Amino acid sequence: MPIPVTVNFRDMFPSPSVDAFVRRWATRLERVDPRVQRCEVTIDQPHRHHERGNRFRVHVLISVPGKEIAVTQDPGEDGAHDDVRVAVRDSFRAARRQLEENARRSRTHRAA
């Protein structure tokens, strides 16, 4: 059963291509932990600087039984998150690491 994914855009126009990109990343989470119940993603553009570019902030919330995993990638000063796809990718990689750790802990806890 596919994971229900909600994508919200704040302070920017919704983009169907970015929405599809987020949904592809979200479906990969099911391979890490099949117990994922839902995934909510919020993408916003907190500041619009002409000199420093448009940086994006991505917040990912993943629900598994008994726990919610939250990841927020704030735009850094290095300009890495000037591209929304890079910001989404970085957020989902961080979320995947936390989800893997949570799955490992729950397996260890059940085995003990």
pLDDT band at residue 45, thresholds of 50, 70 and 90?
confident
pLDDT band at residue 10, thresholds of 50, 70 and 90?
very high
Give the chain's domain count.
1
In tens, the pLDDT along 59-104 reads: 999 999 989 999 987 766 555 667 889 999 999 999 999 999 988 8
CATH number for the domain spanning 97: value is 3.30.160.100
CA distance 40 to 43: 10
pLDDT band at residue 49, thresholds of 50, 70 and 90?
low
57-64 β-sheet, strand order: 5-10, 38-44, 57-64, 67-73
Q: In the chain, what percentage of residues exceed pLDDT 70?
A: 83
Closest CA to 25 of 10, 42, 5: 5
**Residue 39 in this model has a pLDDT that exceeds 60:** yes
Burial of residue 90 (CB within 10 Å: 0-12, 13-18, 19+) is: middle
CB of 81 closer than 8 Å to CB of 75: yes
pTM of this structure: 0.84
Task: Output the CA–CA distances (angstroms, integers) from residue 75 to 28, 31, 109, in the order listed.
Answer: 24, 28, 36
pLDDT band at residue 9, thresholds of 50, 70 and 90?
very high
Task: Tell me the average pLDDT across 37-58.
Answer: 80
Q: Which domain holds residue 21?
A: 5-111
